[in-house]
Amino acid sequence: MSGLAGTADRRRPRFRRREALLLGGVSGAVACGWVSLASTVAGGPSLGDPSLLLAFLGLLAAAHVVLSLAGSRSDEVLLPVAGLLMGLSLLMMVRLPQGLVVQDFGPLELGLAPLQLVWIGLSLTAATVVAVVLRSDLWLRSYKYTWAAAGIALLLLVFIFGEETNGARLTLRVGPFAGQPSELLKILLVIFLAGYLADNRALLAARATRLGPLRLPPLPYLLPMLAMWGIALAIVVVQRDLGAALLFYAVFLVLLWVATQRLGDLALGAFLFVVGAVVLYALFPHVRERVEIWLDPFATAQGAGFQVVRGLYALGRGGVLGTGLGAGLPGVDGHPSIPAVHTDFVFDALAEELGLAGALVILALYVILAERGLRIASAARDDFRGLLAAGVTLVVVVQAAIIVAGDARLIPLTGITLPFVSYGGSSLLANGIALGLLLSLGDTRLTAPPPPQAIGRRERWRDAAGAVAGRVERVIS
């Protein structure tokens, strides 16, 4: 806040008043939803068994208290916004058939809602820990190639050992734990991109002063773009994960443009996107099928278009004000009426029960997230932090836009999660880390960035081309 405040003063606990007020509102809203849901289920005024609700509200309060005690001077809107999304998620998970996901923890057998509460707790913990512990971003920016290598290694692991979920090879299983690494990968990728672009901005942005329009851009400019394009293609081909590929590529392109602010970059990126899309459409039946479903889901309402058509029925049933929590039909006789209603199609279920009004509120929450995140990015003290904050914001809100637009048949459906709302540990954990990073980057107490280093062009070259291999070798040895 105040640059004049002494160090000792800056470590003192500080009551985050606005956050407390907003969280109070969020708690009230979620509690109202809970009562509404329980009353609908019971057929009369009822509280149901409020233990999950109380646990959730406790978790939110705990995150707030920890941030306050640690004296965080960061944005006070982000946590309530994420909290409301998580609250809506919990309500929907309580409302859906509990048998959709069952996991054993020793003697303890948990169904959908308790599991989601565990993941929400994990997510809030990750957010709080990152926000409080990350006092310096030096280790993020200095080891960017290691992060990239780790990300690519993660990707390769999934390529080789991944298990199929709904036709996409997404899940990595280690012992009893299963996760979807592409969720974590998006964070690693953004850290790398922020580091790489911040270091090379000057070179990338200024290239036009040195090159005629017809000559090729310099290799360090072309290389990462082609690499990202390749990674996105590989994800589509090997993992069959169109959503992640689209997300990575879109976020990369936007960050690249923010760094260079050259429309030509966007144009080239869009051109590569079109080329990739056409080639993939021509070569791979699973890509073609997605497009055909998008164009006319009703043609195959009992086959390939089943999920999308049922999603649309849910939207239609919701209307403007919705059926009310618990009164819709996302689940019938213990079977979900829309396949993947708890993950990819959770938005349609919420839009059915909360109506267009609720759906627009959910969209507005992501817009608020975007606004707060980009505000933190603009206020950042150097390019790395700005790009990192922007990138972290983008992976959350662009992902939300991709899946919601897919659910509403505005673009072909690509199976990714709705951040903070869809069921799933990996997704909630990764988005929790993203939230934590934003809180940390927005904290005015973050140590001053290191002075820009004077790196010669030759060194840069070495940096760009050889560092990945060098780092990985060092790590392995």
Partner 1 sequence: MSGPPDVPALGAPPRIAPALLRVALALIVVYGAIGAGLSWWQVVEAERLTNDPGDPLLLAAEREGRRGRIVDARGVVLAESVATGDGSWTRRYPHPEAEPILGYFSPDFGSAGLERSFAAELLGARSLAPGGDLLRKLRSDAYDPQDVQLSLDVRLQRTAVTLLKGKRGAIVAIEPASGRILALASTPTFDPNRIVDPDAGAAYFADLLDRPAEASALLDRATMGRYTPGSVLKVATAVAGLGSGAITPQTVYADQPAEERTGFLVEGFRVRDGHHPQTGRRVLDLAGAIEVSCNIWFARAGLDIGGQRFLAWGQRMGFGEAIPFDVPTAVSTLDGGDGFVDEVELANAAYGQSETFVTPLQMALVASLVAERGTLMRPHVVDELRSSDGRVRTIVPEVWRRVLDAGQAETIALAMQQAVEGRLGRRFAGAAKVPGVPTAGKSGTAELGGDREPHAWFIGFAPVEAPRIAVAVIVENGGAGGASAVPMGGELMATWLELAP
Binding of partner 1 at residue 447 (CB under 8 A)? no
Q: Which of 2, 7, 209, 477 binds partner 1 (CB under 8 A)?
A: 209
How far is residue 4's CA from residue 220's CA, in Å, rounded to a whole number? 42
Binding of partner 1 at residue 321 (CB under 8 A)? yes
To partner 1, the closest distance from the beta carbon of 265 in angstroms equals 11
In the numeric block, the tokens 């851009």 are attached to 217
Complex with partner 1: residue 142 or 261, whichever CB lies closer:
261
To partner 1, the closest distance from the beta carbon of 219 in angstroms equals 16
Of 268, 272, 219, which is closest to residue 245 (Cα–Cα)? Answer: 272
Phi, psi values for residue 284, rounded to 5°: -115, 120
Task: Point out which residues pair with 123 in neighbouring strands.
Answer: none
Confirm if 130 and 429 have CB atoms less than 8 A apart: no
What is the torsional sign of CA 175, 179, 180, 183? negative
Q: Which of 332, 458, 476, 477 binds partner 1 (CB under 8 A)?
A: 332
Task: Point out which residues pair with 331 in neighbouring strands.
Answer: 336
How far is residue 322's CA from residue 49's CA, in Å, rounded to a whole number? 24
How far is residue 387's CA from residue 398's CA, in Å, rounded to a whole number? 15
Q: Which residues of 34-65 are buried (b: 16+ CB within 10 A; e: fewer)?
A: bbbbbbbeeeeeeeeeeebbebbbebbeebbe
To partner 1, the closest distance from the beta carbon of 356 in angstroms equals 4
To partner 1, the closest distance from the beta carbon of 289 in angstroms equals 21
Angle at 131 between CA 129 and CA 135, to 5 degrees: 105
Binding of partner 1 at residue 355 (CB under 8 A)? yes
Binding of partner 1 at residue 136 (CB under 8 A)? no
What part of residues 234-293 is at the interface with partner 1 (CB under 8 A)? 254, 257-261
Complex with partner 1: residue 70 or 246, whichever CB lies closer:
246
To partner 1, the closest distance from the beta carbon of 340 in angstroms equals 16
To partner 1, the closest distance from the beta carbon of 467 in angstroms equals 18
Binding of partner 1 at residue 45 (CB under 8 A)? no
To partner 1, the closest distance from the beta carbon of 43 in angstroms equals 9
To partner 1, the closest distance from the beta carbon of 286 in angstroms equals 24
Binding of partner 1 at residue 41 (CB under 8 A)? no
Complex with partner 1: residue 246 or 404, whichever CB lies closer:
404
Question: What value does the CA radius of gyration of the chain take, rounded to a whole number of Å?
Answer: 23
Complex with partner 1: residue 54 or 208, whichever CB lies closer:
208
Binding of partner 1 at residue 374 (CB under 8 A)? yes
Binding of partner 1 at residue 409 (CB under 8 A)? yes
Complex with partner 1: residue 214 or 454, whichever CB lies closer:
454
What is the torsional sign of CA 227, 233, 235, 241? positive
Q: Which of 60, 93, 247, 359 binds partner 1 (CB under 8 A)?
A: 359
Q: Which of 152, 272, 377, 421 binds partner 1 (CB under 8 A)?
A: 377
To partner 1, the closest distance from the beta carbon of 322 in angstroms equals 6
Complex with partner 1: residue 75 or 383, whichever CB lies closer:
383
Q: Which residues of 187-220 are buried (b: 16+ CB within 10 A; e: fewer)?
A: bbbbbbbbbbbbbbbebbbebeeeeeeeeebeeb
Q: Which of 291, 301, 467, 472 binds partner 1 (CB under 8 A)?
A: 301
123 Cβ contact partners less than 8 Å away, ≥ 6 residues apart: 86, 420, 428, 429, 431, 432, 435
Q: Which of 269, 386, 415, 424 binds partner 1 (CB under 8 A)?
A: 386
How far is residue 216's CA from residue 222's CA, in Å, rounded to a whole number? 9
Q: Which of 53, 127, 168, 394 binds partner 1 (CB under 8 A)?
A: 394
What part of residues 1-30 is at the interface with partner 1 (CB under 8 A)? none
Residues lying near partner 1 in the complex (CB under 8 A): 201-206, 209-210, 254, 257-261, 301, 310, 312-324, 327, 329, 332-333, 337, 351, 355-356, 359-360, 363, 366-367, 370-371, 374, 377-378, 382-383, 386-387, 390, 394, 397-398, 401, 404-405, 408-410, 452-457
